[in-house]
Each structure stands twice: as C-alpha cells, then as structure tokens.
Structure 1
Amino acid sequence: MNNKNIKDPVVYWLAVFASLVHIVLNYFAIIPENWAAATHFALFGSIGALLFFKKPWVQFIVSLGIIASAIYLVFAEDALYERGQSFLYTDFFFSTLAIVLALTLMFKAIGWFIPTLIMFFLTYITVWGQYVPGVFHFPGLSWETMLFRSYFGTEGMFGTIAQLSWTFVFMFVLFGAFLQVSGAGDYLLKVASKLASRFRGGSGLVSVLASGLMGSVSGSAIANTAATGVITIPSMKKVGYSPEFAGGVEAAASTGGQLMPPVMGAGAFIMASYTQLPYLTIVTAALLPALLYYLTVGFFVRAYAIRRNIDLPNKSGTELPKEKDKVKNGWRHLVSIGILVTLLIVGFTPLYAVGMAIVSIILLSWISERPMKLKEINDALSEGSKGMVVTAILLITIGLMVNAITTTGLGSTFSLMAIKWAGGSLLILILLIAVASLILGAGLPVTASYIIVATLLAPVLSDLISLQITTEIINSGSIAASKDFIDMLLPAFTDGTLSLSESILASSSEVRTMLYDMVLSPEIIASSLLSAHLVIFWLSQDSNVTPPVCLVAYTAAGIAKGNHTKTAFCAWKLAKGLYIVPLLMAYTGLVMGDTEARIFAFIFSVIGLFCIIAAWEGVVMKVVNRTHRLMLGIMGIVLLWPLDSLEIKVVLALLFTIYLSVSIFKFRHEPVSNELV
C-alpha cells in the first residue's frame, strides 16, 4: 500500500463521503440490497484504487471502471429480467469488468492466492469441470450463466456476504474508529495497565488485557497488534522479557481479538447469516470460550515471569495523579460500549445498537476534556472507511467463490468425503478442519478461510456433534419410550450388525434428521450448529500465529525487533487455546449446555488449563518438581476430558483448590524478596 496516499486529501474526503453514504444506506435509504452492495463496491473499490496504485492515470481508470460496473448493475438489472435474462454484449462486458477489477484489487491488497483460487473455481464451472472424473465431475455451465450468477445473482459478488459487509461489518468497524479517535484506545491501555500492575508478569498481562479490550471492538488481529504492540512490547522488553516472547505475547493476545465479542472481526455477522441464529445468541455463546483463550495466554505469561524472576508486581499502589485522573475520567468510553451491549441484550438489532453507540460516543465526548468537534468526527468517518477497504473487497470477491461452491455442489461432495475420511470420528474431523484451515490460512485472511471451510464442512461437523449427543442420550436410556421407533429406524443396530453410532451414520440423511428431531430439542440442534461454526471460526485463526505463514506474529516480531521465526513459535505456543478450546466446545457443555452446564464447564476448563500450563512450565507459585508437574498434568487432563461424571471433576476441583491454597500459604511464609500474586 502506498503510505503517501493514506494522507492524501482526496482519499480522506472520499473516505468521509463513503462513511456518510453507508450511514444513509443503513438507516435512511430503502433500495434493493444488491444495489446497495454495488454502491459499497464502487466506493471502497475507488478508495482501494487510490491506495493500491501509485500512478494517477491507473487510479483514474480503475476507479472509473469500478464505478461504471456498479452503475450498470443498477440501470441494467430490470431490463435484463424483462428480456428473460438473455445477455447483451454490454452485460458481458460490465459483468466481466466488475469481476476482473475486484480480483485485481484483491491481488493488490493481499496477494495472488485468493484471485487465483477464485479463477480456479470459475473456470471449473465453465471449462474444465466436465473433464474431471469421479465425484468432482461437473457438466459445466456457460459463461453467460456463470457471469449472471456472479454479477446479478443473489449469491454472487453483490449477494449475501456483500450485504453483511455494507451493513453490520462496516458499522462496527466505524464504531471502532470512533472509539479510537475519541481516545478509547489510550484509555483501555491505561485500564489494562492499572488492573495488571499488581500481578506477577504485569507488563505481559497488560498486553493480554489491552489486546482483549481493544480486540473486542476492533476485531482485527493485525490492527490490534499494530495499535497496542507499539506500547506493550517495549514495556515488556524493558522489564526483562525477550523480544521474541514479548512479540509472541502480543501476537497471541491480538489474535484473540477476533474471538472476543462484540465484533469478532466479521465472523459474528457471517455466522449469524449461515446459522440463522440471532447475533446476540452468537456473541453470548462466544464470550466464555474467548475468556478461556485469554486466561490461557495469561497463565503462560505469569509462568514465564515467575520462572525467570522478572516483572515483579507493583505493590505500592503509587500512581501519578494525572494518570489517575485519566483513568477515572475515561468512564465515557465504557458507557458507550455498555450502551451497545445493553441495547443488544434488550433486543434491538445490531445495526440500531451500534448506531446509538456511535451517537453516544459523540455526545459523551462533549462533556469531557476531549470533545469531538467536526474535525474529529470527520477523522473517525475517514478512518472507519479506510480501515474497511480490504475487508470490503475481500467479502465482495469471496462471494464469487462461495457462489461457485454452492452452484457446483462441491460443499455436499466435500462433506461426504470428510465423513468418509473421518470414519465417523468427531475428533478426526476436527483435526482435518484444523489442517484445512491452516493450509487455507497460509494464503487467505482468516475471515475468508472461515467462510470457505464453513461452507464445505460446517454441516458435517454439526451432524457429527448431533450424532455424539444423540448416541449418549439413547445409550443412557433417557428415551426408552421411543425405543421401538428407534429400532425401526436403525435395524442394523437392533440386530447387532453395527454399533449405534455406525448405524446412524450408515442411515440416510433424512433418517438422521428425523432421529435428531425426535431425540434432541430444537435448542440443542441449534447449539450443535453454532458449536460447529465456532469450532471452525476458532481454527481459522491459527494461521495468524502458526509458522510458516503467520502475519500477526511477524508484525509483532517487527515491532519487537526480534527473530521472526522464534517469535512465531512463541506465539504458536502461547496460543494453544486455539486448539484446546474448540475441542471443549465440541465435546462439553461450554457452548451446547444450559447456563449451569456452561458455568461448570468454564470453571473446570479454567482449572484444567491452569494445571496443564503449570505442568508444562513447571510453575505454580514458584518452580515445582517433576512429581508436582505430573500430578498437575493428570489433574488438568481429567478436568478437561468430557466425563459423564460431574462428581469426579468437582472432587478434582476441590483438591486443586486445597493444593493451591497450601502452595500460596507456604509461599507467603517463605523468606523471599519478591512477593507474588
């Protein structure tokens, strides 16, 4: 990206205009959704042309082409349907132009992988799919049909995913921009510093807390790293953390920003579209797993500080009066976030809630020492649009791929193959999804990776989760009254030919659906689907911190001035929650249970993760011996294991509480010079 262009007044005012147009589209105008999506493409495509190209004549031609292709859709759509969807030469030209320019912008924004992958799918539909033998054979569509579905269709580049982009995603990005311009970023860093300063590993915990607080509204891992890392990484290095570990902490913590409600990148809104579940249901279910992730990173940071005897806690409680005032007077930032959350809980739509939250930021600033005047409001409008450019182009272009997958039926084919490869094993399927997410994430942003993997594998993962729950319920005898009906549906199970799970898997999809509807409540079925999407969404984040391609870790390494490879592996270790928590979501009540089950699952998971990390690092209140590490490791595994017996986990949790209490008591009565928390 040409950094000079970012400060260009043309870019600035075009970005302000784009934000104003989107506010009108979301709250005042009533036009067809694909027309609004075309406007979205015209505005952000034009900003992208100014940002991604250096030569003015190239910027002009690309912008003109993007705007013309968007305007053509608006004026040509009705005429096209009146003549029976028969293409004219102009239809061919402008639909092809829109696709080519969208792919060109995507190439300039993030590289060759996505444009190449999309061309692979588009040519599969029209050219070479008919020559592929076996299950992937596709008879083919004409270029006219492909262009119609891609350009005019409801599932193409101006379809469902683009609609999410110009509505929910943009408005929440704009909300984050208003928070940043109003000073919320500095305030959240100060709050994190104040909260963490009294604990061992405080500088590292500031990074974890700050990235969690910032990520909950920004939803961008790289932006999170850049915004908070320039402050937290030097602070960590100053007290003794190695550059690689400091960068790894920031990368792992910033990755969690896309997991933390209310924004979750674009994931929460795309998930709501796929699952047809309310946005509030999704972010509520995502909260406890996100907290688990951040606790995991925090446990690693604390263990590192204790093992190396660095980053002692600030027990004095001293703080400059000016800094105290800044923390106390920043309450308005929390009020704006609180208004957003409250309106969502009450039942208002996300668009209404975020709109009122943005208005509250402006109004509350007028009674503070930092009022937002017209310049600051324009700055926020501009930053919101500029921060949305890559995401907007990505979601528009990725619609082409999703359309190709649904048109060809590749999603169903791939799901059937995944069932066969996994052999009906939920664990193996999750491992396959992790590998697929990592491979795709090497060249795709996490949002695109999630969309593709969810399109292909979310149905089969949801099916296997429902299968697991159904099998447990039937084996427990909880539905004995329906036994005759089950025997009729599953004759292979009745005569002993196959096990219950094998018999269910061998049945048709219609029989499985009938069985699930009979055994499972609608809430459990919905939770299974949501759990499947959350598992995939979490695993799609691993490319941020997993070598060899881990842009977030490399960004943090650049700020820390550390070895890129070592930083990446540190981030990979610290982000182990990305792999453990999805298993908990699939096998326990962390997402699928009622309120009581979720709370118990969360408590046991916190203790279990602490025990495993303590065993891994050899640290509780101080360094412990191998016997203690073995005991803690076994205790942690059992607490995380999906046991049917709640009593065993309760007993282990009580034993751990006693063990930790004794450790704290002994530690505080030992003659040491550095009291720890």
Structure 2
Amino acid sequence: MTEKLDPKSADDILKKYDKESDTMMYKGVMAKIVSAIAITFSVFQLYTATFGVLDAQLQRAVHLGFGLALVYLLYPTRKSWSRYKVHPFDVLLAVLGAATPAYIVMEYQHLVLRSGTVSGIDLIVGLLGILLVIEATRRIVGLPMVCVVLAFLIYAFAGPYMPGVLAHRGLTIEQLVGHLYFTTEGIFGIPLGVSSTFIFLFILFGAYLESTGLGKFFIDLANAIAGWASGGPAKVAVLSSGLMGTVSGSSVANVVGTGSLTIPMMKKLGYHKDFAGAVEAAASTGGQLMPPVMGAAAFLMAEFVGVPYIDIVKAAIVPAFLYFAGIWLGVHFEAKRGNLKGIPRSQLPKIGTILRERGHLALPLIVIVYLLVSGYTPMRAALVAIVLSILCSALRKSTRMKPIEIVRGLDRGARNVLSVLVACASAGIIIGVVTKTGVGLKLASGLLDLSGGLLLPTMFFTMITAIILGMGVPTTANYVITSTIAAPALVQMGVPVLCAHMFVFYFGIIADVTPPVALAAFAGSGISGGNPLRTGINASKLAIAAFIIPYMFVLSPVLLMIEGTALDLLLTTLTALIGMVALSSALIGYLADDCSTVERLVLIAGGLMMIKPGFLTDIAGFALFVVILLLQLKRRKSAVQA
C-alpha cells in the first residue's frame, strides 16, 4: 500500500534540521549514567507535581540543574567529536551546569537575606551560570537564539551610547548578574517556571503516548478517513500532522515523523516533489498552532496574558481550524488540477478495525481535554493523563507497555524537554534585560512611530518583526521573544492583549515555512528530494491562512471567542472559510476549472473581502466568488458537451 523513507535517512534529515535530535549515542556505563540522571529528573518532576512544588526559585533551580547537566552530556561541544565517547570537557561543563543552580538551592536563605546584594562569589557563580545557559542554547537550540540573547546583553551595557529612544543609563555587571541569576525576573522567570511545572508534564505525557503507538494510530486513522479522496495522501498528511500537533512540540520533528511516510506516498501518486514536501511542512508547522499544547507555548501564553489556560485553548480552536482548512483546500485544488486520484479503498485500513484495535490509545487525550474543561489545573490534568496513558495501553496486548518501557518513558520525557527548558532559560535572559532597561516599550514606540500610529501599518510591521525574530527559533522561545518585543506595539494601539499575543505567535511560528530560513520546509525537501527554496515558497502558499487569520482576529476578536455571540462566531467563521476557498483556488489556479489570470485576481479580491469582517464586504466578496464559480462551471460543462 505504501512505501516509507528508510529510518536511517529520516534520522539523518532530522538531525540535520533539528538540533535537538543530534545527540550523543552512548553505550555501556555512560549510557546508564545519562539514563539514570534523566529518570531521576522525571521522578523529581512527578514527585513535586504530586506532593507540591518547591518555592519558585528552588523548583526552577533544580529543574535547570538537571537540564544543563543532561544537555552537556548529550550534546558535544564540537560536531567533529566522537558521538560514542564523552569528552572530559563536556563532563566538566555538565558538573558546572548542575553546580551553579545548586548554589541557589544551598544558599537560598542567605540569598533571600541579602535581598539583591551580590557578593563576590555570587557574581562568579551567576556569571558562570549565564554563560552556561548561553552555551547550552548554542548546542541544542541554535545560533539564531544565541545571537538574539547576545544582542540584548550588549544592549544592557551599551545603553548610554544608544541613539534616541533606545538610550538608557546602562547596567553594571553586578546589577545585570544579580537581576538575571538571583531573582525570578531573569533566567528563573516565568518561562522557566512554566517549563518546570506544566510543560515538563505535558512533554512526559507526549513521550508515553508515543510509546503506545499513538503516532501510527493517527496516520492509519487519517488514511482511513481521507486516503481514498482526490489527492488522498496529501490530505492524509494534513490530517495526521494536525492530529500529531496536539502532542508534538516541534515542526521539524513532526515533518520527519509523519512525512517519512506521507511524502513518498504523495510523490508516488503524482504530486511534484517540491509540492509534496511543502504540504507536509505547512501541515506540520500548523501542528504548533493546534490546541491543547501549541508547541508548549499555550502554558506560557496563559501566564503572560494572565488568563486561565483553558481560555487559550478555546481561543486557538477556530484559527487552527481555518489554518488547516486552508491547507486542505490547497491540496484538494492541486489534486483536481492534476487529476490526482486517491488510494483504492481496498488498499486502505478500515476505520472500524483501527478504532477497535487501537482506539483506546486516544482516550488519554480525550480525558485530558475533559479535565481541563472541568476546571482541573493543567498540572493535575497532565498527571492523570500520564497514568491513564499507561493504563490504557494495557487494555490490549499489542499496545501494552512492559515495565522497562515505562521506565524508558521517564528517560525519553526528560530528554524531550531539554530544548524547551534551555529555550525558556535563555528567553529569561531576554525578558530580564527588557524589564531592567524598559526596551520593550521603547521598541513598541518605535514601531508605532514607523506606522504613523495607524493600526494596519502597525500590524504589518509587527508581522515582519515577528517573522524575522521567529526564524530558526523553537516554538516556546519564539513566542517569548515575539511577545516581549513585538506584542506591546499592538497592545498600545488598543488591541486586546490575547489578540496581540496570538498575532505575534502565529507569525513567529509561520517563520518555519517562510524563506529564507524555513526549517520545516527544508526538512520536507530533504525527504522529498526537492528544492528547499521552491518547497518553502509552495509551503508559504499553502499556509496562506496563517498570514491572514491573525489580521482577522485582531479586527474581529470573536474568532478567539473573547467577544460576540455564538451566532457572530458562526457567521464570521463561515465567511472566512468561503474566503479561504477563494484564496486557495486563486493561489493554486483551479476552482471548478483552470483559472485565468483575471479570474485569479478576482478570486483573491473576493477572498480578502470575505475574510475582512463586515457585512458589505462579505456580500461583495461572496458575489465575486459566485460569479467566477458559475463562469467556470459553465465553461467546464461546455467543454464536456463539445
């Protein structure tokens, strides 16, 4: 029925584009030592989640200590070093990575009594801790994030020499280290606090779901639902990537995980390799916009915006639906244009069989959503879901986890959290500089001056800023950076805070398919054998919804379920969906028949009118859409009769 990319090739592609996957491959004693540290890390997190977390700075310090130790043991200083034998220098850094946060734990009472005064030893430990976080960021997150962090650190010292509104008094080394390392306003701030509580548990939950075979269940279910339709494998890619996005925290990992199966299927059906890679890249990137996890950014957003986590989940539902609808429409019109058929139903798995054999694997996902809606805290809901995922897997012998697999789940969960943990710690440095210098408001004022104080130009410049800042940066750090630097400009314009944060989040995420730094598209092209730039351009076309939806919910917050009635939401969603049909058909060049240049322009105009909130614009846009549709239906009918 299907062919799949060789696992070794898929692994190589993942390591090339996803730094988190390029780890050491220990054997023997060293492998056991690293696993023991990772398992102990998970046990600590589960214990504190069950019996109560420690004081904020203590919880975060222990969390960071475990994380840094594992990063330095798993990610070598240089790529040229052996991947099978640990280097003494990395062992030294691992010990220091654990020791510098441990200093906070051991000296906690004295640090509290000193109340911000930094002693000589504090300065050495704090400076070393900051440098270790930055180096860990280089190893597991990448240079783009390091460059942003270093730029902010330089700004902290260069304030007196900065021009115009960017000028400030400047900070001394003692002030900066004290603020970044010995308060909860810097490295140990909100991002690391969320990582040390909610995020870790949800990633551990995802690790156990992966162990049960949920990923294969999603792909088989998507095949059964959509594999037979026009362009079936492409629609399978969209559906399975959306389902995987509910638990996945990486666009690139999602591309390789589902794309190693779906991209060869698409190419075999007749899709061009540049388009096949683009479909998977656009769909997998959309997985980061998919509630309830949203690449772990949902938890950070709840803290930053100051609303319950479930409100973030509700706000993300309609935009995510519209995004995936846009990709689905794009692959549908491409399939119709190329007359690409689906897979014969006889070759596809039966949906009833799949649900009977492995439907129980989805129960933990259903339960966790129910618990969150019922008022459970995310931490408590994740704890229940972790236990339930193990129990549900035991319902059938084919999915049952052995005791050793349960232990390995603890190991894998700790390893999977490392990139998020380090990104959150690194993002804390940025936030610390922003709060200490006030540069966030200054940058917002600069954006407002550039846009002349008008909303649409401000949104446009904020979009460009978020896309640039999001290039090559993982989801959680991406959101922290964009929300800190770009969102305040929209808030100053009177945009609701949640709308402003969702706006920059969307554009930061879509950087994964926006050339020139389109990591998800590059990973897709690595699997398909296509051209990375053309794959990125095609992915941007398919992901057109992500470039439009944020403007929609800023202009019409009802899409985020924070204003208006249910009828308002229904009508706005319906007109937006029809608008997406018009836009997708225009970009692909097919609606009911091949589109002429004029027809494509009219469809774009009509689509944008329906997407823009307003009764008159909706009517006008719908009329343009219907005219083109009727003309094409008439033309196709004439061609058939001829």
With the length of structure 2 as denominator, give the TM-score of the two structures.
0.89
Superposed, 1:7-46 pairs within 5 Å as 8-46=31-69
What amino acid maps onto 1:37 in structure 2?
R
From the superposition, tell whether residues 26 and 659 of structure 1 become closer, same or farther in structure 2 (CA, over 3 Å).
same
Question: Contact 1:244/1:566 (CA < 8 Å) preserved in 2?
Answer: yes
Indicate which of 174, 188, 206 corresponds to 2:218: 188
Deviation at 1:271, TM superposition (A): 0.9
Counterpart pick for 2:310 among 271, 280, 289: 280
**Structure 2 residue 191 is the aligned partner of structure 1 residue 223:** no
In the alignment, what sits opposite 1:351?
379
Tell me the secondary structure at the aligned position of residue 216 of structure 1. Answer: coil
Structure-2 separation of matches of 1:464 and 1:278: 24
More off after superposition, 205-214 vs 41-50: 41-50
After superposition, the C-alpha distances for 1:482-509 in whole angstroms (9 at most, x for unaligned) are: xxxxxxxxxxxxxxxxxxxxxxxxxxxx
RMSD: 2.6
The SS at the match of 1:265 is: helix
TM-score by length of 1: 0.84
Give the aligned partner of residue 593 of structure 1: 563
Structure 1 residue 411 displacement after superposition: 0.9
Moved more, 10-19 or 533-542: 10-19
Question: What one-letter code is carried by the residue in structure 1 that aligns with 2:165?
Answer: V
Tell me, yes or no, if structure 1 residue 66 matches structure 2 residue 97. yes
Q: Is the 8 A contact 2:192 2:421 kept in 1?
A: yes
3-state DSSP class of the match of 1:318?
A: helix
Compared with structure 1, are the counterparts of its residues 147 and 239 closer, same or farther at alpha carbon in structure 2 (3 Å cutoff)?
same
Deviation at 1:398, TM superposition (A): 1.2
CA distance, structure 2, for counterparts of residue 10 and residue 668 of structure 1: 71
Once the two structures are overlaid, the 10-residue window that deviates more, 453-462 or 232-241, is: 453-462
Question: 2:26 & 2:504 partners in 1: Cα distance?
Answer: 34
Contact in 1 for aligned 2:602/2:624 (Cα 8 Å): no
> Would you say 1:90 and 2:114 are equivalent positions?
no
Q: Is the 8 A contact 1:433 1:453 kept in 2?
A: no
* Cα shift at 1:320: 6.4
Larger mean Cα displacement after TM superposition, 132-141 or 396-405 = 132-141
Distance 1:366 1:663, change over 3 A: farther
Cα distance between partner residues in 2 of 1:455 and 1:223: 26
Greater displacement, 358-367 / 24-33: 24-33
| Contact 2:280–2:524 (Cα < 8 Å) also in 1 | yes
Unaligned runs of 5+ in 2: 1-18
Aligned position for 2:579: 608
- Aligned residue for 1:175? 205
Q: CA deviation at 1:536?
A: 0.6
- Kindly indicate whether the alpha-carbon contact (under 8 Å) linking 2:235 and 2:331 is maintained by their aligned counterparts in 1: yes
Equivalent residues of 1:226, 1:555 under 8 A apart: yes
Greater mean alpha carbon deviation, residues 112-121 or residues 254-263:
112-121
Aligned partner of 1:504 in structure 2 is none
Q: Secondary structure in 1 aligned to 2:279?
A: helix
What SS is found at the alignment partner of 1:623?
coil
When structure 1 is superposed on structure 2, of 317-326 and 65-74 the one drifting more is: 317-326
Query: How far 1:671 moved relative to its partner?
Result: 6.8
Deviation digits for residues 305-340 of structure 1, max 9, x if unmatched?
Answer: 111122x135x6435678863343221122211101
- What's the CA shift string for 1:372-395, capped at 9, x where partnerless? 221221222222111111111111
Distance, in Å, in 1 between the alignment partners of 2:149 and 2:596 is: 54
- Which residue does 1:476 correspond to in 2? none
Partner of 1:154: 184
8 Å contact 1:465–1:586 — kept in the other structure? no
Q: Distance in 1 between matches of 2:236 and 2:552?
A: 27
Q: How far, CA to CA, are the matches of 1:401 and 1:634 in structure 2?
A: 41
Instruction: Kindly indicate whether the alpha-carbon contact (under 8 Å) linking 1:446 and 1:543 is maintained by their aligned counterparts in 2.
Output: no
Q: Residues 6 and 607 (structure 1 numbering): CA distance in 2 closer, same or farther, change over 3 Å?
A: farther
1:456 corresponds to which of 464, 485, 489: 485
**Percentage of pairs with the same residue:** 32
- Taking the aligned partners of 1:662 and 1:346, their CA distance within structure 2 comes to 50
- Trace 1:231-310 onto structure 2 (pairs within 5 A): 231-310=261-340
Deviations 1:81-102 (A, max 9, x none): 3345433322112111111111
Cα distance 1:75–1:14, how it changes in 2: closer, same or farther (>3 A)? closer
Using the TM superposition, name which of 204-213 and 590-599 deviates more.
590-599
Partner of residue 555, structure 1: 523
Which whole-Å CA distance do the structure 1 matches of 2:573 and 2:200 have between them?
32
Match of 1:638 among 584, 603, 609: 609
Q: Is the counterpart of residue 5 in structure 1 residue 25 in structure 2?
A: yes
> Would you say the 8 A contact 1:39–1:70 is kept in 2?
yes
How many Å apart are 1:112 and its aligned residue?
A: 3.1
| Letter paired with 1:111 | G
**Matching residue within 620, 626, 633 for 2:591:** 620
How many correspondences in the alignment?
A: 606
Larger Rg, first or second structure (1 or 2): 1
Counterpart secondary structure, 1:329: helix
What pairs up with 1:380-529 in 2 under 5 angstroms?
380-466=409-495, 528-529=496-497
Equivalent of 1:102 in 118, 133, 139: 133
- Structure 1 partner of 2:547: 579
1:39 deviation in Å?
A: 0.9
Letter in 1 for 2:417: M
